[in-house]
C-alpha cells in the first residue's frame, strides 16, 4: 500500500514575481526530495519505473523523533485494534541510491486494510515530524526469524542470540545479555567460556591483553560469503535479466569482504564446577567488553508460531521481547531463547538432571537444570550455547549451557518421558554470583 504522493499546489495566477518565485521554490523542494516519484525509464532491456529501496543506517536524530512522536501512537493504534495478531514497525532509510536517502518508518501487518493504512498515514502527518519524511504501509505476514534464524549474520547493533567468535578462531557461540557493573561505565555482554576457548576446566582466567571478539564469527562469515558465491554461480551468464542480480550479489560479496566485524574484547572467563543451592554444577561464562558503536539491546526476536501461545508473551506484536530484569527459574514455567543456530524457540524448565558429564571434566558428574522443547522441537542446538533464556514476563532466567544436541536420550529417573532432547541451562542467580566474584562488583542488566 503506497502512501499518498505529495503534489505541488500551483497558484491561481502566476503573473506576479512573488508567485513565480513561490512556484520555483516548490519545484526545487520537490526535486530535492529523494523519495519523489520518478518517471518510467528504459534500461538494460527493461521498461519500468525506478523503485525505492530500504537502506539500514544509524540516525540518532530520527530515532529520537520516532520515539518521541510516532512510536507510542502507532503501538496504541494497533493495541486498540482486534484485527491484527501481529505487525512489525521499522525505522530505516529509503531512497533510489544508498547515497541519497531519507529516514522513513515502515509498517507491515497481515491483511492491513486500506482504511487503517490511511489512518496510520494521517497519524504520521498529524505528528508534524521534521526529520522522518514518510510512513509507508504494507500488507503481509510479519516475521523476525524463521525456524532457522539469520542470527549468524552481521548486525551493526546485534540482538541477543547473534553469532560471536574470537578473531581468527572457528568456534561459534551465541550473544548473551548486555549489562554493566557498579562503578564501571563500560558495557559488557556474556556468552559461554567453551564458546571461545577449548579447555573445560580453566578456572577464572583474565586476558591481558584482551582478545578480539567478532560478530559474526569467522566460520559464519566464511559460510555467509560462500552462500552468496553459490547464488552468484547460479546466475546464468549472458542472460540479460540476470545481469542486475549478478551485480547485486557481487556488491554483497565485496561488502562482506570489507566488513569490520570487531565487536568487543574478551576480558575474563571462567570454566569450573561449583556448589550452588546444594548442587554441584557448572559455571561456564565469558565476559566481553562491547565496543560502544556496536552495543545492542537486551531483546530477543519472536516469530509467528509464538502466536499460538501469545497470552504468555509480551508485547503482542510477535516482534520482540525486551528484558525486564531477572529472577530465578521456576520448574514448569515456559521459557524462550533466541540463538545463533535455531533462532527463537519455546520450551519449559522441567527438572534438575543429576547425571550430566561434559568432556574435559575428568568424569565428574554434575547436576544441571534441564529445558525441554515444545513437542518434537528441540530447544537448542550446537552454536546456541550462550543464548539468554527468558520467561514469559521478560525476566532473564539463565544462559544455555549445552545439551544432548542431536542425540535423544532416556534420562535416568525420567524414563517415562521416552527419548528426549535435553538442553542444560545455567541459572541466572548462579551467573550473578560468579560475576560478583569475578569482578568484585554487582552486575546490572541494561
Domain boundaries, the chain: 1-142, 299-436
pLDDT at 45: 42
Q: What is the mean pLDDT of residues 169-192?
A: 93
Least confident of 106-115, 162-171, 314-323, 419-428: 314-323
Q: What is the mean pLDDT of residues 26-48?
A: 63
CATH number given to 299-436: 2.40.10.10
Kind and range of the H or E run holding 211: strand 203-214
pLDDT at 287: 96
- In angstroms, the CA 96 to CA 333 distance is 48
pLDDT band at residue 52 under the 50/70/90 scheme: confident
Please classify residue 208 by burial: count the beta carbons closer than 10 Å to its beta carbon, then call 0-12 exposed, 13-18 middle and 19+ buried. exposed
Least confident of 45-49, 51-55, 74-78, 423-427: 45-49
Q: Which residue has the higher pLDDT, 264 or 392?
A: 264
CB 384 within 8 A of CB 341: yes
Q: What is the mean pLDDT of residues 26-41?
A: 71
**For the chain, percent of residues with pLDDT exceeding 90:** 35
Q: What is the mean pLDDT of residues 81-90?
A: 80
* pLDDT tens by residue, 298-339: 988 776 555 556 567 655 445 677 888 899 999 998 899 989
* pLDDT tens by residue, 379-427: 888 889 999 999 888 899 999 998 876 667 788 888 888 888 888 999 9
Please classify residue 221 by burial: count the beta carbons closer than 10 Å to its beta carbon, then call 0-12 exposed, 13-18 middle and 19+ buried. buried
- In angstroms, the CA 137 to CA 305 distance is 23
Amino acid at each position: 500500500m503506497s502512501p499518498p504522493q505529495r503534489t505541488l499546489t500551483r497558484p491561481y495566477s502566476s503573473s506576479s514575481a512573488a508567485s513565480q518565485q513561490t512556484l520555483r521554490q516548490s519545484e526545487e523542494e520537490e526535486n530535492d526530495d529523494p523519495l519523489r516519484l520518478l518517471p518510467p525509464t528504459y534500461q538494460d532491456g527493461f521498461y519500468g519505473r525506478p523503485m525505492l529501496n530500504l537502506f539500514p543506517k544509524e540516525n540518532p536524530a530520527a530515532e529520537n523523533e520516532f520515539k518521541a512522536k510516532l512510536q507510542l501512537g502507532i503501538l496504541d493504534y494497533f493495541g486498540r485494534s482486534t484485527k491484527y495478531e501481529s505487525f512489525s514497525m521499522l525505522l530505516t532509510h529509503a531512497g533510489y541510491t544508498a547515497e541519497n536517502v531519507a529516514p522513513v518508518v515502515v509498517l507491515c501487518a497481515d491483511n492491513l486494510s486500506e482504511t487503517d493504512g490511511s489512518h496510520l498515514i494521517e497519524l504520521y502527518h498529524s505528528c508534524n515530524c521534521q526529520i522522518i519524511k514518510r510512513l509507508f504501509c504494507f500488507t503481509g505476514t510479519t516475521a523476525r526469524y524463521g525456524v532457522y534464524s539469520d542470527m549468524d549474520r552481521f548486525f551493526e547493533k546485534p540482538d541477543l542470540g547473534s553469532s560471536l567468535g574470537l578473531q581468527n578462531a572457528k568456534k561459534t557461540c551465541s550473544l548473551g545479555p548486555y549489562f554493566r557493573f557498579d562503578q564501571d561505565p563500560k558495557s559488557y555482554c556474556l556468552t559461554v567460556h567453551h564458546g571461545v576457548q577449548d579447555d573445560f576446566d580453566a578456572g577464572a582466567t583474565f586476558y591481558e591483553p584482551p582478545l578480539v571478539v567478532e560478530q559474526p564469527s569467522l566460520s559464519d562469515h566464511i559460510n555467509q560469503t560462500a552462500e552468496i558465491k553459490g547464488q552468484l554461480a547460479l546466475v546464468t551468464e549472458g542472460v540479460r535479466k540476470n545481469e542486475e542480480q549478478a551485480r547485486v550479489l557481487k556488491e554483497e560479496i565485496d561488502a562482506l569482504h570489507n566488513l569490520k566485524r570487531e565487536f568487543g574484547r574478551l576480558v575474563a572467563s571462567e570454566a569450573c564446577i561449583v556448589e550452588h543451592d546444594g548442587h554441584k554444577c557448572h559455571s561456564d561464562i565469558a565476559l566481553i567488553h562491547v565496543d560502544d558503536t556496536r552495543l545492542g539491546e537486551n531483546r530477543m526476536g519472536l516469530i509467528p508460531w509464538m502466536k499460538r501461545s501469545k497470552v504468555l508473551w509480551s508485547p503482542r506484536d510477535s516482534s520482540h521481547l525486551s528484558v525486564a530484569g531477572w529472577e530465578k527459574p521456576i520448574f514448569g514455567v515456559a521459557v524462550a531463547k533466541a540463538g545463533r543456530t535455531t533462532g527463537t524457540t519455546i520450551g519449559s524448565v522441567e527438572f534438575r538432571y543429576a547425571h550430566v558429564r561434559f568432556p574435559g571434566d575428568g568424569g565428574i558428574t554434575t547436576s544441571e537444570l534441564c529445558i525441554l522443547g515444545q513437542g518434537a522441537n528441540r530447544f537448542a542446538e550446537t552454536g546456541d550455547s550462550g543464548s539468554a533464556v527468558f520467561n514469559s514476563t521478560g525476566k532473564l532466567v539463565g544462559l544455555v549451557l549445552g545439551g544432548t544436541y542431536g542425540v535423544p536420550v532416556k534420562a535416568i529417573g525420567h524414563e517415562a518421558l521416552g527419548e528426549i532432547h535435553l538442553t542444560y541451562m545455567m541459572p541466572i542467580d548462579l551467573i550473578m554470583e560468579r560475576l560478583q566474584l569475578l569482578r568484585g562488583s554487582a552486575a546490572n542488566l541494561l
